[in-house]
Chains A and B, each alone.
Chain A
Amino acid sequence: MRWLFSFLVLALLGAVQALSSSGSRLLVVLEELAEKDKYSEFWDDLRGRSYTLSFESPKNDKLSIFKHGERAYDHLILFPPKTKGLGPSLTPKLLLEFLKKDGNVLLTLSADHPTPSAIVSLLLELDIHLPTDRNALVIDHFNYDTVSAGEKHDVLLVPAPKALRADVKNYFEVDGTIAVPRAVGQGLGNTTPHLAPILRAGSSAYSYNPKDEAEIVEDPFAVGEQLSLVSAMQARNSARFTVVGSVEMLQNEWFDAKIGAVGSKEQTTTANRAFAAKVSEWTFKETGVLKVGRLQHYLNEGKKNVNESAVGVPEHNPGIYRIKTDVSYTIEISEYTSTHLSPFVPPTADDVQLEFSMLSPFHRLSLTPLAQTANSTIFGTSFVLPDQHGIFNFRVNYKRPFLTSVDEKRQVTVRHFAHDEWPRSWNISAAWVWIGGIWVTVAGWIAFVALWLYSEGVEKGVKKTQ
């Protein structure tokens, strides 16, 4: 039996060698297979990160991203079709189904051909808006590549993206300038927290339609930093969907193109290769993936018992606590970085927070990192349970842009004081009068019984006259 088991383990080890935390089967859908050589360096990079690439044309009737109702691939790269759409096997509905089943999609757009309505409606489902003119492209008269687009200004030079906010990690930092040729700008809906721009256009950029607005731009779709050139959507199930506004930026030609910024005679090389790697790493869940290890909560009895061993022991957490007791909570969080799990360190302006809630949170506390193991950080805090009995949850709901969501709930009962847990009456000074009264009565009663039993009658005469 044992040798069978070890064979099984070996086989499993073989299967989990991909760098992505969610699988290595990658399907590339592009219309003309001949075109794939233009992107060979990108494919080589992906193969170098141990993906198995399959190339299919959307026109292929047998193409299906599902097999027996399950995903046939883990990741999808979609190239912009030159025809009307992506065909019956890649309808928006099927692609959303693919996302629902935890598949990741990297969608590329190009301003060279009108964007098919199937893709526009797919993006609209995700609240990503494309220009109403299907031919629109983004230009910037201030930051363009003087080498290749001195006249048309349609090759944008964008500095490497900075962190979205002070409390968000930057997974797309590259060294150098990114060239974005002939991009389709995207507008991101403001209402959803699932969308985030990866690469924004410069403040002087705008989107225009080269056919209708050749002379002067009159009603641009979006202007400046509202234009997202590369945008990310992470669904509730942490499936990732990235829109790259310009498929050309992934071409070999642009991976090491010499570019010249406006106003400088020096020519530099683009950082497109590094940026494409960062974007695909993030999309295919090589970065920004969080994993929760051991989660503990226990009655704090003054001992410091943070267990720093990372051995996956089952949870033995109490199911019941009393109100107003001091409770400690620890949670172990790792971050997957390309090859291994490493300790998760949140940005300085951010904190992992614990909620102790019954319907609404009674406590919401920031967890502090207590210790680090080889591949995880142990966050924890201690607090006094509220003076309210009921069914409560320890909940860590850590959702942040670019990070997979963590939502860990542990239910506990919080009971009120048992009859013998209250302070004794002699500890309450107000009760002393009553306690004294009781014992005075007791002593008086015993004295009265003794008197009644053993007293000699006196003043008989008085008694008789009565």
Chain B
Amino acid sequence: MRFFRSILPSLLVSGACVVSAASSWGFEDATLTVQSKGAGVGGGLKEKLSINSPLSKQVTLGATDTLKIFLTTTDGKKAKRPHQAFLTVTEQASGLEESFIFSVKDSGKGKVELTHKDIPTPLLLASEPLTASLVIASFGSSTPYRSKAFEITIERDQNAPIAAGEKPVRYGKLEEIHHIFRSDPKSPPKIITLVFTAAVLGALPVLFGVWLTLGANVNHISKALGSAPVSHALFFGSIVALEGIFFLYYTSWNLFQTLPAAAAVGSVAFLSGSRALSEVQERRLAGLR
């Protein structure tokens, strides 16, 4: 037990448990190569993998590169073929995992090849470096081996971007939507409105003033009321009343209240108007106006 603990700290870290077994799985003579398509033999990265600690160097895998790992799996000190020999690539943030299977011969010599084509799209699109770990295990009581071997950065081809693919439907909370209302109609600044309203209202005294300078007067009012008091009072009153009805219609009445009232006032104006206007005609014929 103690012996294992001292030489295999990484084993413990990785959570692989130490059994009181005679042997444990591992590997030796592990080499990692990354080779570009164009580069000749010997070009590209070549590193030795250690069983105890992960590779300190970052491994970069370009779009046309091939990553190869050769190793010899061992059980204890002997080379032996395990049942499970995986290179597991994990995205730490999401926990996504994909395992690549070593092809291992009876002698324990194993090999795995990795290109962009083999890696699933979500892992290819990962922004952080992926963690690659080696898993070597088999039946029986030998301690299985699982440890981080290196970190791998995926270098995507800028000219051929990979489509992320449509996100599959999952039931869950959706984003909130708040209706955007049309903006309310706006009025011009009040000061401008007030100036123009004052101008409009000011037109009335101006009009009266002009009339007065032209000699407007109401001198005949006593004469008119004297000769036809009822019809004049009714006629003028009905004209004022009609404007009053318009005012009520504007403020509170509806059309069905307005129309009968207007009809009543209108007929009064019609009947009294003929009398009142003939009185006005009489005054005109008399040369008084």
- A90-98, A311-319, A337-345, A428-436 - the one binding chain B: A428-436
Complex interface: chain B residues within 8 A of A133 (CB): none
Determine how close the nearest CB of chain A comes to the CB of B48; give it in whole angstroms: 24
Scan residues 195-218 of chain B and give those whose CB is less than 8 A from a CB of chain A.
Answer: 196-197, 200-201, 203-204, 207-208, 211, 215-218
A218 x B176 contact (CB < 8 A) = no
**Which of B88, B181, B200 is the one whose CB lies under 8 Å from A224?**
B88
The closest CB in chain B to the CB of A347 belongs to B173
A56: Cβ under 8 A from any B Cβ = no
A446 x B243 contact (CB < 8 A) = yes
Complex interface: chain B residues within 8 A of A167 (CB): 172-173
A399 x B204 contact (CB < 8 A) = no
Complex interface: chain A residues within 8 A of B174 (CB): 353, 364
B176 x A364 contact (CB < 8 A) = yes
Determine how close the nearest CB of chain B comes to the CB of A51; give it in whole angstroms: 29
**Which of A264, A351, A362 is the one whose CB lies under 8 Å from B177?**
A362
B99 x A455 contact (CB < 8 A) = no
- How far is B9's CA from A400's CA once the two chains are assembled, in angstroms? 44
- How far is B188's CA from A253's CA once the two chains are assembled, in angstroms? 86
- B58-66, B140-148, B156-164, B259-267 - the one binding chain A: B140-148
A387 x B177 contact (CB < 8 A) = no
A206: Cβ under 8 A from any B Cβ = yes
A361: Cβ under 8 A from any B Cβ = yes
- A66-74, A117-125, A150-158 - the one binding chain B: A150-158
The closest CB in chain B to the CB of A386 belongs to B179
Complex interface: chain B residues within 8 A of A457 (CB): 287-289
A262 x B170 contact (CB < 8 A) = no
Q: Mark B110-135, 1 if CB is under 8 A from A, else 0.
A: 00000000000000000000000001
A455 x B101 contact (CB < 8 A) = no
A444 in contact with B204 given A430-B187, A451-B216, A456-B220 (CB within 8 Å): yes
Determine how close the nearest CB of chain A comes to the CB of B225; give it in whole angstroms: 9
Scan residues 48-94 of chain A and give those whose CB is less than 8 A from a CB of chain B.
Answer: none
- How far is B188's CA from A428's CA once the two chains are assembled, in angstroms? 10
The closest CB in chain A to the CB of B90 belongs to A203
A453 x B217 contact (CB < 8 A) = no
The closest CB in chain A to the CB of B225 belongs to A454
Complex interface: chain B residues within 8 A of A442 (CB): 243, 246
B138: Cβ under 8 A from any A Cβ = yes
Determine how close the nearest CB of chain A comes to the CB of B168; give it in whole angstroms: 5
The closest CB in chain B to the CB of A190 belongs to B168
- How far is B216's CA from A432's CA once the two chains are assembled, in angstroms? 30
B177 x A363 contact (CB < 8 A) = yes
**Which of B144, B178, B200, B280 is the one whose CB lies under 8 Å from A363?**
B178
- How far is B99's CA from A220's CA once the two chains are assembled, in angstroms? 10
- How far is B86's CA from A324's CA once the two chains are assembled, in angstroms? 62
A455 x B196 contact (CB < 8 A) = no
Complex interface: chain B residues within 8 A of A301 (CB): none
- How far is B217's CA from A318's CA once the two chains are assembled, in angstroms? 64
A351 x B207 contact (CB < 8 A) = no
B221 x A324 contact (CB < 8 A) = no
Determine how close the nearest CB of chain A comes to the CB of B271; give it in whole angstroms: 16
A220 in contact with B101 given A386-B181, A437-B200 (CB within 8 Å): yes
Query: Is chain A's interface secondary structure helix, strand, loop, or mixed overall?
Result: loop
A453 x B171 contact (CB < 8 A) = no
Scan residues 224-272 of chain B and give those whose CB is less than 8 A from a CB of chain A.
Answer: 224, 232, 235-236, 239-240, 243, 246
A142: Cβ under 8 A from any B Cβ = yes
- How far is B177's CA from A436's CA once the two chains are assembled, in angstroms? 45
B197 x A436 contact (CB < 8 A) = yes
Complex interface: chain B residues within 8 A of A191 (CB): 168-169
Complex interface: chain B residues within 8 A of A447 (CB): 208, 211
- How far is B218's CA from A458's CA once the two chains are assembled, in angstroms? 12
A263 x B240 contact (CB < 8 A) = no
- How far is B211's CA from A324's CA once the two chains are assembled, in angstroms? 52
Determine how close the nearest CB of chain A comes to the CB of B57; give it in whole angstroms: 25
**Which of A141, A193, A400, A432 is the one whose CB lies under 8 Å from B144?**
A141
A429 x B18 contact (CB < 8 A) = no
Which of A204, A220, A447 has the largest number of chain B CB atoms within 10 A?
A: A204
B85 x A263 contact (CB < 8 A) = no
B104: Cβ under 8 A from any A Cβ = yes
Q: Mark B78-118, 1 if CB is under 8 A from A, else 0.
A: 00011111101000000101110101100000000000000
Complex interface: chain A residues within 8 A of B197 (CB): 432-433, 436
**Which of B144, B172, B236 is the one whose CB lies under 8 Å from A142?**
B144
- How far is B197's CA from A150's CA once the two chains are assembled, in angstroms? 100
B182 x A387 contact (CB < 8 A) = yes
Scan residues 384-401 of chain A and give those whose CB is less than 8 A from a CB of chain B.
Answer: 384, 386-387, 399-401
A436 in contact with B200 given A217-B101, A362-B179, A363-B179 (CB within 8 Å): yes
Which of A142, A190, A447, A454 has the largest number of chain B CB atoms within 10 A?
A: A454
B140 x A399 contact (CB < 8 A) = no
Complex interface: chain A residues within 8 A of B181 (CB): 324, 384, 386-387
B220 x A264 contact (CB < 8 A) = no
B278: Cβ under 8 A from any A Cβ = no
Determine how close the nearest CB of chain B comes to the CB of A2; give it in whole angstroms: 47
A256: Cβ under 8 A from any B Cβ = no
B217 x A193 contact (CB < 8 A) = no
A450: Cβ under 8 A from any B Cβ = yes
- How far is B280's CA from A226's CA once the two chains are assembled, in angstroms? 107
Complex interface: chain A residues within 8 A of B285 (CB): none
Q: Mark A149-185, 1 if CB is under 8 A from B, else 0.
A: 0111100000000000101000000000000000000
Q: Mark A240-255, 1 if CB is under 8 A from B, else 0.
A: 0000000000000000
B137: Cβ under 8 A from any A Cβ = yes
Determine how close the nearest CB of chain B comes to the CB of A229; give it in whole angstroms: 16
- How far is B67's CA from A307's CA once the two chains are assembled, in angstroms? 67
B276: Cβ under 8 A from any A Cβ = yes
- How far is B23's CA from A20's CA once the two chains are assembled, in angstroms? 52
Given contact pairs A261-B17, A447-B211, enumerate 16 new A-B contacts (beta carbons under 8 Å): A142-B15, A203-B97, A204-B144, A216-B81, A262-B19, A349-B173, A365-B176, A387-B181, A429-B188, A430-B187, A433-B196, A440-B201, A453-B232, A454-B218, A456-B288, A458-B215
Binding site for A on B (CB under 8 A): 15-19, 81-86, 88, 95, 97-99, 101, 103-104, 135, 137-141, 144, 146, 168-179, 181-182, 187-188, 190, 193-194, 196-197, 200-201, 203-204, 207-208, 211, 215-221, 224, 232, 235-236, 239-240, 243, 246, 276, 280, 287-289
What are 7 sample pairs from A and B whose C-beta atoms fall under 8 A apart?
Answer: A203-B88, A216-B83, A262-B17, A429-B187, A446-B239, A453-B232, A457-B289
The 5 closest A-B pairs by CB, nearest first: A263-B17, A141-B137, A364-B177, A456-B219, A457-B289
